Amino acid sequence: MRPYLRHFVFHPPHQEGYLPKVEIFETLTKGRDGVQYILKLEFSVPKLLYGNSLQEIVEGDKETVFLRLKSCLANVGITIEIRDISEARVSGVHFCKNELLPTTIRMQEILNELELVDISKVVDITRTKFKKGGGVLNVYWGVIEQCFYEKVSDALRPKNKRSDKGRIDYEREIIKRCNLQDCEVFRYEYRVKKTQTVMREINAVLGREPKTFVSFSDLFTPGLFKKMILKSWRGLIQRPENQLALIGSKDNLGLFLHILAQAKKLPKQHSMNRALISYGLARAIRDHGAKEVRRAIFSIWDTDHTERLTQKIEAAVELIRGLPYSNGIVFIDKAFERFAPMTLDILHSASNLPDIKNQPL
Where exactly are the structural domains of the chain? Answer: 6-240, 249-319
CA–CA separation, 335 vs 98, rounded Å? 9
CB atoms within 10 A of CB 236: 18
CA–CA separation, 232 vs 95, rounded Å? 10
Q: What's the pLDDT score for residue 15?
A: 64
Q: 249: Cβ–Cβ under 8 A, 6 or more apart, which residues? A: 255, 323, 324, 358
Q: How many residues does the chain have?
A: 361
CA–CA separation, 72 vs 132, rounded Å? 37
Q: Look up residue 157 and give its DSSP letter.
A: S
CA–CA separation, 358 vs 247, rounded Å? 10
**Phi, psi of 291, deg, nearest 5:** -65, -40
Q: What's the pLDDT score for residue 128?
A: 72
CA–CA separation, 223 vs 352, rounded Å? 28
SS3 192: strand
- Sheet order of strands, 35-42 included: 6-9, 21-28, 35-42
Q: What's the pLDDT score for residue 171?
A: 87
CA–CA separation, 188 vs 110, rounded Å? 12
pLDDT digit string (tens) for the chain, length 361 residues: 567 788 888 877 666 678 899 999 999 888 888 888 899 999 999 999 999 999 999 999 999 999 999 999 998 889 999 999 999 999 999 999 999 999 999 999 999 999 999 876 556 777 776 554 568 999 888 899 999 999 999 888 876 666 665 667 888 889 988 889 889 999 999 999 999 999 999 999 999 999 999 999 999 999 999 999 999 999 999 999 999 999 987 789 999 999 999 999 988 778 899 999 999 999 999 999 998 999 999 999 888 888 899 999 999 999 999 998 999 999 999 999 999 999 988 988 875 544 444 444 4
CA–CA separation, 168 vs 38, rounded Å? 28
**Phi, psi of 128, deg, nearest 5:** -110, 120
pTM above 0.75, yes or no: yes
- Max intra-chain CA distance, the chain: 78
293 close to 284: Cβ distance less than 8 angstroms: yes
CB atoms within 10 A of CB 76: 14
Q: What's the pLDDT score for residue 279?
A: 96
